[in-house]
Structure formats: structure tokens, C-alpha cells
Homo-oligomer: A and B are copies of this chain.
Amino acid sequence: MTWDDDVPGAGEQAADRVHATLRAEILDGVRTAGSRLREEEIAAAQGTSRTPVREAIRRLAADGLAEIAPRRGAVVVAWDADDLDELFDLRVVLEGHAAARAAVSGRADLDRLHALCDRMEALRTPPDYPAITRLNLEFHREVHRAGGRRVLPELVARVVEAPLVQSTIRRYTPARLDRSFAQHRDLVAAIEAGDADWARAVMTAHLRAAREVVRDAVTADPAPTGP
């Protein structure tokens, strides 16, 4: 009920359920980076056969959340420092583009963006990190939807969700949260003004700051790779 809000009515299919569950478990850190994804174990836990589980795992691999070695099974992806740098460079490029396009596309739901800012800021003290993370993701997704029609949203989703595997959100100090919230407000203002360059600049600054947080988290933890 935390992460699968983007798959609302498709929950009928068993494969979709398993996919959503595994996705949530990975993003919540229940399944740590590098841990194996055994089909039979998951099938037993979910009360289905291996067939939907296989499909769910393949979909996770397509989402960039798992890696499959032929005849050897799947593991949750593990990113090293260089990988995270590459990911954040791509986030800057893609989300910057999305922000710029959102500013001029006229498809941005400004009321919703304002509301999401309000709700995030209401959760500041004491910080409810899981809820903030979810709302933050939804805020960014709204910008992606406004900036792209078909491909951009799912393309950028891959890059945005990938670093969440490391579950680094809890590293945000209240001061960092304040800065992040202020940048969100700035971004909405830039989009509202229809200023593409401004929007791109704000998004770039926003993500550069986030990169620092993740970098600190990775260097603090010695190695996120599992046994």
C-alpha cells in the first residue's frame, strides 16, 4: 500500500501483484542490494506458482531493479559509487529536460504540485521519511508526466527509482529537508511562470544536492553488496 499506487486497477493479475510486492520490498529495503531472488521461495510466499513469479522478476530486471544471470537466478541490483554518479548524471539530464518541457507544455497540474508540497512540508516535524519519500516521488512523477507524453515518464522512472535500492532517504537531515522543500517550491514557481530555463536550473540544483546526500550515504556504508 506504499509503492504500488501507480498500478491501481491492474492488481487482478497474479504477475502484477507479485511484481508490485517485490518492487515494494526492494524499495523498502526488505530485500537488500545483492540478495538473491529465488523463484520457488517467492512463489510460496505469494501463494502462486513459479510462472507469475518468473514474469515479475523479468519485469523487475527491465525496471533496472534486478539483474538476471542465465541459469543462475536473479539478484537485487547493487550500485557502486561510479554507478550512482552515472545515474545522477542521467537524472539531471532527463529530469532537467522534463522540468523544462513541463514549464512550456501547459500540461502541468499546478494545483496538485502545490498540494504535494503542502503535504510534504506538513510531515517535516518529526520527519516521516517513508511518507515523505512517497510524496516526493509522486511530485517528481507529476513533473515527468507534464514534461513527456509516452516515453519520458517510464524512461526517467527507471533512473529515479534505481538509487532508492540503497535506501538512502533516511540520511536526510531536517536542514536538508528544508532545502529540498524550498527547491520544490521554486520548481513549481518556474513551471507556473512558463520559464523552461529556470525550471531546468532548479531541477539541476535539486538533483545535485540529492547526489551529495547519496554520496555521503554510500561512503559511510562500506559496501552495499550482499553476501
Q: Give residues in A with beta carbon < 8 Å to B.
A: 10, 12-13, 54-55, 58-59, 62, 64, 70, 82-83, 86-87, 89-90, 93-94, 97, 101, 148-152, 155, 158-159, 162
Complex: A31 Cα to B92 Cα, angstroms: 36
Q: Which of B10, B54, B151 contacts A64 (CB 8 A)?
A: B151
Chain B residues near A159 (CB-CB < 8 A)? 151, 155
Chain B residues near A59 (CB-CB < 8 A)? 58, 62
Interface SS of A by simple majority = helix
Question: Smallest CB–CB gap between A77 and chain B, Å?
Answer: 9
Chain B residues near A62 (CB-CB < 8 A)? 58-59, 62
Q: Which of B58, B93, B155 contacts A158 (CB 8 A)?
A: B155
Q: Is the CB–CB distance between B70 and A10 below 8 Å?
A: yes
Complex: A134 Cα to B58 Cα, angstroms: 28
Chain B residues near A13 (CB-CB < 8 A)? 70
Complex: A64 Cα to B152 Cα, angstroms: 12
Q: Which of B55, B90, B148 contacts A151 (CB 8 A)?
A: B90
Complex: A172 Cα to B64 Cα, angstroms: 35
Chain B residues near A12 (CB-CB < 8 A)? 70
Question: Smallest CB–CB gap between A166 and chain B, Å?
Answer: 15
Complex: A97 Cα to B62 Cα, angstroms: 22
